[in-house]
Amino acid sequence: MIVSAAAPAIVLISEEHSEEMLAGFARYTHEYDVRVARSCHEALQTTHDIVAEGGTVAMFASESVLPDAEVLHCFHKLREKVPTARRVIAAHWDRFLTDAPGLRPGMAKGKYDAFLLMPRGVRDEEFHNAITDLLSDWGSTVADPEVVAVKIISPTRDALTLGIRDFLDRMGMPSRVWEPDTEAGRYVLDHWDGEPVYPLVCRGHGTVMHATSVRDVAIMMYGAPTEIDLEHVVDVAVVGGGPAGLAAAVYAASEGLSTVILEAEAIGGQAGTSSMIRNYLGFPRGISGMRLAQRARNQALRFGAQFFTGQVVDELRPGFDGDPHVLCTDSGEVRARSVVISSGVAYRKLRVEPLEELVGIGVYYGAAMTAAREMEGQDVYVVGGGNSAGQAAVHLARFARSVTIVVRRPDLAETMSQYLVGEIEYNPRISVRTCTTVVDGGGDGRLEWLGLQDVRTGEQEKVPAYGLFLLLGAEPRCDWLPGAVARDERGFVLTGRDVPKDQWSNGLPPENLATTVPGIFAAGDIRSGSMKRVASASGEGASVVPLVHAWLAPVPGPEVS
Ligand SMILES: Cc1cc2nc3c(=O)[nH]c(=O)nc-3n(C[C@H](O)[C@H](O)[C@H](O)COP(=O)(O)OP(=O)(O)OC[C@H]3O[C@@H](n4cnc5c(N)ncnc54)[C@H](O)[C@@H]3O)c2cc1C
């Protein structure tokens, strides 16, 4: 074995076909500590030894049948020891068809990550594709990522430091925070002229900046709209880089339209904060929201789209009679012949004052993927009964000692998909506290405790808590829109036939995804009546492009001879 002792382990579990398994994983022995266990008992012992020596396990790959335990029971036991490891069944080809029907449902419930056929030869790339995808997911979700593209130097894990790390994670730029008095800290300080000020952010091997906001980092990495010549008018400006905006960008740019995307935070929108999207067409093993978003961004970049992240559009000045529409941000304006509004939704506020003050230091809106890593060994709470709350709880349980879902309702069945309810019931680290609300909380410099109230009895209890993740349902992000863009009573943008009749033109409604202002379109969750799914948002983003085309190049009238 050529690998160093500190390398993460891959534990293969097989009695009958351990030779084939080992041969299948031969290419990983350079970078992982590949070990073989011949039973569940042996796998547990091996894992115990690895953890006791300070090591970690990246993956358990088991045959579908073990001599001393059901494979799913074995995974359950192993998960208690190393919750971050990916779990794979590699069924021998003699058993693949017979074992698949009984084992596949467990995958939908999150009991393991992939059901594969044992490699059939030395270059079974289909198998290795799945394995490397899973290892890559593992590498980007463990507390300290395997690959680091950006170094952050900070003596404290304050809200800004964690905000920068969250932004970079969501942009697919793995980062790590070091204290100044470490090897990495000293390296970065050596490349910094002047007094030490924190956080310092170092890209690659040299460029160092002092960040005063997440936007500073976004501009250092990805530029600002000031780069666009003020007189230049782009064909289409997309506001919001979630699935709807990304799809609009890919299709618009691929069809030759000059396309600019303005995104307030990181690319990906709500979907980008999801640890695993399981129901998006074409990804049978699921895909992390970050990965999906970054792939779409790269696709749009290849076609020439221009992205600006960390840029909040705070005003849209509609242009009439051939004038361009103007989008205003703090770092400059963008003028566009057409606009796609794809600004999605944001989480509703909890409105418990002492907790609002701790946002970023123990209290988080949304799944806060990066903050999840900070929860290692801690007790955390998730508020919300929807699928996003369920997904967040499952992700947090990889790190936290306990995760408690707090819901006002008597159960989760009405609001959460059955597969997630099953996954939560199965996960020993997650519990559900029904008929309960969060009414208070506090701590010394960060969240330390919460006040919970039973809604039936009014009784209150103070519990220790290191993290509170709020996934409370959504409100449209429409405060930047002008009155001319008609909206429904909740603020969602009206399009097509949903526009009130008195705003139709010549007795005709606007086109399907067109708003009340000519040349301004809406797609995705921001649109009144939309389905609120990744597939529907990206479908609408793609569908809006022919309408943009038609608007930019109106069909000429009959020639007059
Ligand atoms: C944790 C979680 C898990 C989910 N899991 C699934 C799932 O498994 N399957 C599924 O189908 N759906 C899932 N959803 C729902 C899905 O993610 C959304 O339906 C989808 O992301 C909507 O896409 P969108 O582009 O319309 O809006 P959003 O994703 O909300 O993106 C809007 C973007 O616009 C930006 N923006 C807003 N205002 C401005 C402004 N003024 N200036 C610039 N930018 C702005 C925002 O920062 C955001 O990035 C999940 C949602 C969450 C929160």
Alpha-carbon torsion angle 165, 168, 174, 179, nearest 10: -30
The Cα 439–Cα 459 span in angstroms is 11
Q: What confidence tens digit (pLDDT) does each residue in 120-162 have?
A: 888 899 999 999 999 988 887 777 777 788 999 999 988 899 9
Give kind and range of the element (H or E) at residue 190: helix 183-190
Q: What confidence tens digit (pLDDT) does each residue in 272-296 have?
A: 988 888 889 998 888 989 999 999 9
The total of other beta-carbon atoms located within 10 Å of residue 243's CB is 33
Q: What confidence tens digit (pLDDT) does each residue in 157-214 have?
A: 888 999 999 999 899 898 999 999 999 999 999 999 989 999 999 987 678 999 999 9
Q: Does residue 1 carry a pLDDT above 80?
A: no
Among the residue ranges 74-88, 195-209, 501-515, the one predicted with the least confidence is 195-209
DSSP secondary structure letter of residue 273: T
Query: Does the beta carbon of 525 lie inside 6 Å of ligand 1?
Result: yes
Query: Does the beta carbon of 534 lie inside 6 Å of ligand 1?
Result: yes
Alpha-carbon torsion angle 156, 274, 147, 74, nearest 10: 110
Query: Does the beta carbon of 495 lie inside 6 Å of ligand 1?
Result: no
The Cα 333–Cα 234 span in angstroms is 12
The Cα 374–Cα 364 span in angstroms is 12
Mean pLDDT of the chain, nearest integer: 92
| Overall average pLDDT of the 244-270 stretch | 97
Q: Residue 61 pairs with which residues in a beta bridge?
A: 12, 88
Which residues, other chains included, contact 255 with Cβ-Cβ below 8 Å and sequence gap of 6+?
Answer: 545, 549
CA–centroid distance, 412 to ligand 1, in Å, is: 23
Residues 250 and 299 sit within 8 Å (Cβ to Cβ): yes
Two tokens, residue 235:
């064909």
Backbone angles phi, psi at 271, to 5 degrees: -60, -35
In this predicted structure, what is the pLDDT of residue 389? Answer: 94
Give Rg (Cα) of the chain.
Answer: 26
Residues 32 and 58 sit within 8 Å (Cβ to Cβ): yes
SS3 at position 41: helix
- Looking at the chain, the number of H-run helices and the number of E-run strands are 16, 26
CA–centroid distance, 123 to ligand 1, in Å, is: 39
The Cα 208–Cα 192 span in angstroms is 6
Q: Is the pTM of this model over 0.85?
A: yes
Task: Determine if residue 304 is left, alpha or beta; phi over 0 gives left, psi from -120 to 50 gives alpha, anything else beta.
Answer: left
| Overall average pLDDT of the 307-332 stretch | 94
CA–centroid distance, 173 to ligand 1, in Å, is: 20
| Overall average pLDDT of the 490-497 stretch | 96
| Overall average pLDDT of the 360-388 stretch | 88
Q: Does residue 555 carry a pLDDT above 70?
A: no
Give kind and range of the element (H or E) at residue 380: strand 379-383
CA nearest ligand 1 atom 20, residue: 534
CA–centroid distance, 289 to ligand 1, in Å, is: 10
pLDDT band at 230 (very low <50, low <70, confident <90, very high): low
pLDDT band at 219 (very low <50, low <70, confident <90, very high): very high
CA nearest ligand 1 atom 30, residue: 344
In this predicted structure, what is the pLDDT of residue 560? Answer: 52
In this predicted structure, what is the pLDDT of residue 373? Answer: 81
Residues 341 and 240 sit within 8 Å (Cβ to Cβ): yes
Residues 374 and 162 sit within 8 Å (Cβ to Cβ): yes
Query: Does the beta carbon of 269 lie inside 6 Å of ligand 1?
Result: yes
Query: Does the beta carbon of 298 lie inside 6 Å of ligand 1?
Result: no
| Overall average pLDDT of the 79-86 stretch | 91
Backbone angles phi, psi at 204, to 5 degrees: 55, -130
In this predicted structure, what is the pLDDT of residue 61? Answer: 98
Q: Answer positive or negative: Cα dihedral of 449, 450, 454, 457.
A: positive
Q: Does residue 2 carry a pLDDT above 50?
A: no
CA nearest ligand 1 atom 38, residue: 343
**What percent of the chain has pLDDT above 90?**
75
